A = this chain, B = another copy of it.
């Protein structure tokens, strides 16, 4: 079997995918298989008993948000009675940062891959501070979520309905020339997003004061575009999945307990998992490494698509947020060329003479070299209800790539 040939097919599909942000709608109206008592979460599938604090917190918050539980205690006993169901976002074409919890009535971005037709979804970004995705679910967190769903989500839905969509691949490419790496640094991308949306919002929103709040929120939140970027990366990597014989990783995701990957040439339901590492980075005032939860979130879909930690060379200013020096950031990218199959045609880095980002993690190279992918990530507090405590760097456990390679050898009789 010609593995390189299979990988070329997978990578070509990944790179030629053209994710267009088409709209915003309630999850239950657009996400396949979504239903009222289903709660999607980041990472590989996991049962309640093994869930980490921040993931539990986000699920409790989402149940309060949906109004199906009136208190934390009620939410927990409903879960324990089996009245709600859980599934991985990835099984439904969705991705969410950190806990990634997505419930039926939450508004989500709808991205369509204009090249191959597949769709992907992501929830709306809440900004910094106490937020559901880091496991916080106070009154204030829920109030903001309702505003986001009712005012912001409605504004985005109407704005996008009045447009031909936003070309996310072009947006990411431009942001990488403006000091973003697309995962932990999305300052430029979020402003490009605002630039596309503002004239549409002006045309479609009636209430001047609400419009001003929406524009302020989108502009001030340097992560506004993270979720549509993640959905775009999901559309790209999903397009690369299912290529017979390919050793390219199409998913890296963490649920706060386990780190899981999936591989193009293996079954979509076949996850390779091991305990997630604890990220190392810079902590907000009052917190330290001891507060950190193990790695969590679907945002490693960015690295899977060749940006994020893989594109740090183009984002030297990110070190003020994740630690290290600009030289470390450069080296992170250079190291990732060792374990990837190709260089992106569309995502280039001026500081490396416009070289394409390292794209398509090859499980063979990871295992052979013992070099695991580099991921930029936010750091959640390990207890439910607290929220973000820092940002830093993490790698997946090497064992899951070894497991995947064994499964690959078994399937293909090598």
Choose from B194, B199, B213, B351 the contact partner of A191 (Cβ within 8 Å). Answer: B194
Q: Which of chain B's residues have a CB closer than 8 A to the CB of A353?
A: 325-327
Q: Which of chain B's residues have a CB closer than 8 A to the CB of A269?
A: none
Q: Is the CB of A177 within 8 A of B350?
A: no
State in angstroms the CA–CA spacing of A325 and B191 once bound together: 27
Q: Write out, one digit per residue, whether chain A residues 204-245 have a CB within 8 A of any chain B CB (1) or not (0).
A: 000011011101100110000000000000000000000000
- The answer to whether residues A202 and B215 also contact, given A177-B317, A178-B179, A179-B350 and a CB cut-off of 8 A, is yes
Residue of B nearest to A180 (CB): B178
User: Is there a chain B Cβ closer than 8 Å to A18's Cβ?
Assistant: no
Residue of B nearest to A351 (CB): B316
Q: Which of chain B's residues have a CB closer than 8 A to the CB of A220?
A: 195
Q: Which of chain B's residues have a CB closer than 8 A to the CB of A178?
A: 178-180, 187-188, 317
User: Is there a chain B Cβ closer than 8 Å to A81's Cβ?
Assistant: no
User: Is there a chain B Cβ closer than 8 Å to A198's Cβ?
Assistant: yes
User: Is there a chain B Cβ closer than 8 Å to A334's Cβ?
Assistant: no
State in angstroms the CA–CA spacing of A225 and B211 once bound together: 23
Choose from B195, B198, B208, B319 the contact partner of A203 (Cβ within 8 Å). Answer: B208
State in angstroms the CA–CA spacing of A192 and B192 once bound together: 10
State in angstroms the CA–CA spacing of A220 and B203 once bound together: 17
Residue of B nearest to A203 (CB): B212
Q: Which of chain B's residues have a CB closer than 8 A to the CB of A179?
A: 177-179, 188, 350
Q: Which of chain B's residues have a CB closer than 8 A to the CB of A215?
A: 198-199, 202
Q: Interface size on A (CB < 8 Å)?
A: 35
Q: Write out, one digit per residue, whether chain A residues 237-258 have a CB within 8 A of any chain B CB (1) or not (0).
A: 0000000000000000000000
Q: Is the CB of B203 within 8 A of A209?
A: yes
Nearest CB on B from A222, distance (A): 10
Q: Which of chain B's residues have a CB closer than 8 A to the CB of A325?
A: 353
Choose from B187, B199, B350 the contact partner of A317 (Cβ within 8 Å). Answer: B350
Nearest CB on B from A324, distance (A): 11
State in angstroms the CA–CA spacing of A188 and B189 once bound together: 10
Nearest CB on B from A234, distance (A): 26
Q: Which of chain B's residues have a CB closer than 8 A to the CB of A327?
A: 353
Nearest CB on B from A381, distance (A): 28
Q: Which of chain B's residues have a CB closer than 8 A to the CB of A319?
A: 350
Nearest CB on B from A139, distance (A): 25
- The answer to whether residues A191 and B195 also contact, given A179-B178, A316-B351, A350-B326 and a CB cut-off of 8 A, is yes
State in angstroms the CA–CA spacing of A195 and B325 once bound together: 29
Nearest CB on B from A196, distance (A): 8
Residue of B nearest to A350 (CB): B316
State in angstroms the CA–CA spacing of A319 and B187 once bound together: 22
Q: Is the CB of A212 within 8 A of B219?
A: no
Q: Which of chain B's residues have a CB closer than 8 A to the CB of A192?
A: 191
Residue of B nearest to A352 (CB): B326
State in angstroms the CA–CA spacing of A190 and B219 once bound together: 13
Choose from B198, B316, B317, B350 the contact partner of A219 (Cβ within 8 Å). Answer: B198
Nearest CB on B from A217, distance (A): 9
Interface CB pairs A-B, < 8 A, 12: A177-B317, A178-B178, A179-B188, A188-B188, A191-B192, A196-B219, A198-B198, A199-B219, A316-B351, A317-B350, A326-B350, A326-B353
Further contacts, 14 of them, CB under 8 A, given A202-B212, A326-B354: A177-B317, A178-B180, A178-B187, A178-B317, A191-B191, A191-B195, A194-B194, A194-B219, A196-B219, A198-B198, A198-B216, A199-B219, A203-B208, A203-B212
